[in-house]
A and B are shown apart, each in its own frame.
Chain A
Amino acid sequence: MADAHADVSKHVRVYWIVFGALIVGTTLTVVVANIDLGHTTNLVLALMIAAAKGTLVAAIFMHLKWERSASVWISLGLCAVLFTVLMTLPVLTVNDYPPGVKHDRTGSWDMLPATTVVEHEGGH
């Protein structure tokens, strides 16, 4: 650890490069958002640029690139997994309906509102 930080002046150059990259990233975000590439493409691109910028901040400014402590990495790994769970499972839950039920959302959050169509798939 100690020798990894021994020559901090070497880091300074990296910091300036990252600074430049972040400014380019921010500009790119704005430019891409103002071009209409379709909703999904715009969304994915914006998130990808944000993720790239975030990674740079975490890796360089927050020194994760030089972090060798297993304790830190295990904690962060666990956090990343649970973060993914938190971001995906709730939204998957609201888009999952019993079989044979078509959910036609017209502005209400009732899970089975009046507009729900139950399809009877043939007689047995």
Chain B
Amino acid sequence: MSGEHHKELGFFRKYVFSVDHKVIGIQYGITALCFLFFGFCLIMMIRWQLAYPGEPMPLIGGLLERLMGAKWAEEFMPGGRMTPDFYNALGAMHGTIMIFLGVVPLLVGAFGNYVMPLQIGAPDMAFPKINMASYWCFAAGGVIMLSSFLVPGGAANSGWTSYPPLSAIAQPPAAGWPILFSGQTLWLVGMVALITSSLLGSVNFIVTIIQLRVKGLTMFRLPFFVWAQFVTSFLLLLAFPPLEAAGVLQLMDRVAGTSFFLPEGLVVSGQVAMVQGREIAGGGNPLLWQHLFWFLAHPEVYVLILPAMGIVAEIIANNTRKPLWGYRALVYSTVFLGFMSFIVWAHHMFMTGMGTSISAFFATTTMIISIPSVIILTALIISLYNGAIRFTTPMLFALAFLPMFAIGGLTGLPLGLPVSDIPLHDTYYVIGHFHYVVAPGTILAIFGGIYYWFPKITGRKMNDTLGRLHFVFTFICMNVVFMPMFFQGLAGVSRRLFDQTQYSWGAAVQGWTITSSWGAWMLGVAQIFFFINFFWSIWGGKKVSNNPWEATTIEWSAPSPPPHGNFATEPVVYRGPYEYSVPGMSKDFFPQTAVTEA
């Protein structure tokens, strides 16, 4: 297929409006890494306000004033001190950007797009043009989100969860500005674009995995990473539409005068609440938003973790030089986990006055869903047992993922039971819990994946010394950032506080806040190793063969980087994905596509 000569495409068709899954994967990867860094910058600013409330921000304060102009600085950071509204905007946008523009596009858009078709031996995704449309919807959503920082009133500041009634009435558009140009409204429009992108992507992923597997690659010969992507795509496909509906409903509340989420007789700051200068009709239900939002946002948690588990599984099998322990258990657990993730959402809503029967139902399903998670983690840990472990850079990240995810997962259990959730709800404990899953968990897995597949994408390896330094500092700093949050939370400090020292119990644990802030800034410094390594290695890294890690899965039998169409001849698969250290063989790996031991 790719042996034939392809018509030479112009620059734009080849690198900008490309339909090749590999180019799109790289586009996703680079865009999402930029967003990830941007979201991280927002939180580094927040950490200053938290650690040293009310003090002018050194360096950055002045820099921003010069960059954005005096008028902007006057509104958001007078004298280098951030206003409470700006603080709220930074918090809301940090969450939104990290999840919807950073981590998910990296895991699904970048790794899924680049690696999954290669791992199933396909020449491309099933619908290449839809794949391109999906990337450009994502890019449009990102631009809309970013542009919201520039409208009067600033970016959305009602939290990443955008709970109404606050979000429905906050930030009316400034006089003389079109109705859509206010932070929260742009947030909603941006979300609709991002959701459309995810829907297009997930249809494409599912069809590709079902239809385009090469000969011999049965479902139970798929690498675990592909299974993770498969289940993730179903979560995106069926959980996102309710949030799209909720987004449309809230948009109607904000621009068309409906009151889907606005109860009757709503009074804000002693005045009857108004939207667009009109009195609201009322009769709406704020909990409706929470149901529709969490119907997506709980499965979304598994969208954030399943592909990360897939990456870790690939790296662990490759670097322990033995098959994954309990492959089928892993697959069944993942499928079950995916299904269960749809019926646990209201454990985010124990504080909303739900009755005991429904609370008991959701607490039970939440306890049940922890079982497959533990099975997956256990299988990955047992896979290490008796392995001839190679401590390569990606393996270090994969190994660190295991205890970090365990901490994140186990600290979630008290939040799944109404009795212990009620005192912990909306405290820093919750922040610590989900950041342990997503930051030291998923983001470490993402770094591992970048180090692991970099040779396939560029034909060169990233530098090991820099990689190890990056790992050590990242790993330590991550824990310095997030461990103190548990102590703060248990001391009763609420999340989203502008200045916790105003409360005696907050002032008592301010030391932990400062520790956490310094951890965050050091974490930022540690990424310098990654930046240097990443850009230097693209041009100056050590050239390596097509299969530098001596791996078994199909992507390593393609040239590095794979040409358009991926494989010179269509591969045929003869065995399962992790045939490492097969007894009686001279080499310790047996690729899926090898007919016999060559």
Question: Which chain A residues have a beta carbon within 8 Å of chain B's beta carbons?
Answer: 71, 75, 78-79, 82, 85-86, 89-90, 92-94, 96-99, 107-112
Identify whether the interface residues of A are mostly helix, strand, loop, or mixed.
helix
Which of A78, A82, A97, A108 has the most chain B CB atoms inside 10 A of its CB?
A82
A93 touches B238 (CB 8 A): no
The smallest beta-carbon distance between B499 and chain A, in angstroms, is: 30
- Residue B371, interface by CB 8 Å: no
A92 touches B342 (CB 8 A): no
CB-CB under 8 A from A90, the residues of chain B are 288, 291
Question: Which chain B residues have a beta carbon within 8 Å of chain A's beta carbons?
Answer: 206, 210, 234, 238, 242, 263-265, 283-288, 291, 295, 339, 342-343, 346, 349, 352-358
Contact residue among A82, A86, A94, A98 (Cβ-Cβ distance under 8 Å from B287): A94
CB-CB under 8 A from B355, the residues of chain A are 93, 96-99
Given contacts A82-B238, A85-B343, contact A109 B358 (CB under 8 A): no
A109 touches B284 (CB 8 A): yes
CA distance A92 to B291 in the complex (A): 12
Given contacts A71-B210, A82-B342, contact A109 B285 (CB under 8 A): yes
CB-CB under 8 A from A78, the residues of chain B are 234, 238, 339
Contact residue among B238, B295, B339 (Cβ-Cβ distance under 8 Å from A79): B238
Given contacts A82-B342, A89-B346, A93-B358, contact A111 B353 (CB under 8 A): yes
| Beyond A90-B288, A109-B263, 12 extra complex contacts between A and B, CB < 8 Å | A71-B210, A75-B206, A79-B238, A93-B287, A96-B355, A96-B358, A99-B356, A107-B264, A108-B264, A109-B264, A109-B284, A109-B287
A96 touches B238 (CB 8 A): no
CA distance A94 to B355 in the complex (A): 8
CA distance A51 to B295 in the complex (A): 25
CB-CB under 8 A from A89, the residues of chain B are 291, 343, 346, 358
Contact residue among B234, B265, B358 (Cβ-Cβ distance under 8 Å from A92): B358
Which of B352, B355, B357, B358 has the most chain A CB atoms inside 10 A of its CB?
B355
CB-CB under 8 A from A110, the residues of chain B are 263
CA distance A82 to B339 in the complex (A): 9
CB-CB under 8 A from B343, the residues of chain A are 85, 89
CB-CB under 8 A from B242, the residues of chain A are 86
The smallest beta-carbon distance between B124 and chain A, in angstroms, is: 20
B286 touches A109 (CB 8 A): yes
The smallest beta-carbon distance between B307 and chain A, in angstroms, is: 19
CA distance A112 to B444 in the complex (A): 44
CB-CB under 8 A from B346, the residues of chain A are 89, 93
CA distance A26 to B122 in the complex (A): 47
The smallest beta-carbon distance between B341 and chain A, in angstroms, is: 11
Name the residue of chain A whose CB is nearest to the CB of B338.
A78
A108 touches B265 (CB 8 A): yes
CB-CB under 8 A from A108, the residues of chain B are 263-265
The smallest beta-carbon distance between B362 and chain A, in angstroms, is: 9
B342 touches A85 (CB 8 A): yes
CA distance A107 to B288 in the complex (A): 16
CA distance A94 to B354 in the complex (A): 7
Return the 7 tightest CB-CB contacts between A and B, nearest first: A96-B355, A111-B353, A90-B291, A109-B263, A96-B358, A97-B355, A93-B358
CB-CB under 8 A from B285, the residues of chain A are 94, 109
A-B contacts, 13 of them at CB < 8 A, read A75-B234, A85-B343, A86-B295, A92-B358, A93-B354, A94-B285, A94-B287, A96-B354, A96-B357, A99-B356, A109-B263, A111-B353, A112-B353
